[in-house]
Amino acid sequence: MVRVTMWKDKEGQWHGFEVEGHAAFAPWGEDIVCAAVSILAQTTVLSLQKIVGMEPEVNVSEGYLTCRLGSIKNEKSRSDAVLLLSSLALGLEETARNYPGYLQVIYE
């Protein structure tokens, strides 16, 4: 199962996420659940970097990815980051709904 933890700070603002595990929905290279989660997470990181202009702290290894926003300098960047992470959460929730037992989304 893939577990995604979405992190919020004390004020309820998104500040990152962690993806870990493998869905085991299908053999490696054919697993559409793992592919969906990977695409959603990697696109979020790339969008934070290329569209918002942020450099989040990112760690990637086999079956694992973390993205922490760190300090955000202006309100526009904060708003854009919140929108991207909200979109990620929406995509993950819909994937989990369509493939129960293969993806768990946790909010902390």
CATH number at residue 24: 3.30.70.1490
Rounded CA gap, 59 and 56, in Å? 10
Give the pLDDT score at 57: 97
Count of structural domains, the chain = 1
pTM of the entire structure? Answer: 0.94
Give bridge partners of residue 57 from the DSSP assignment: 68
37 and 19 Cβ atoms separated by less than 8 Å: yes
- Which residues lie below 8 Å from residue 50, measured CB to CB, with a gap of 6+? none
DSSP state of 38: H
pLDDT band for 9, please (50, 70, 90 cuts). confident
* CA atoms 21, 23, 29, 35: torsion sign: negative
Rounded CA gap, 77 and 54, in Å? 8
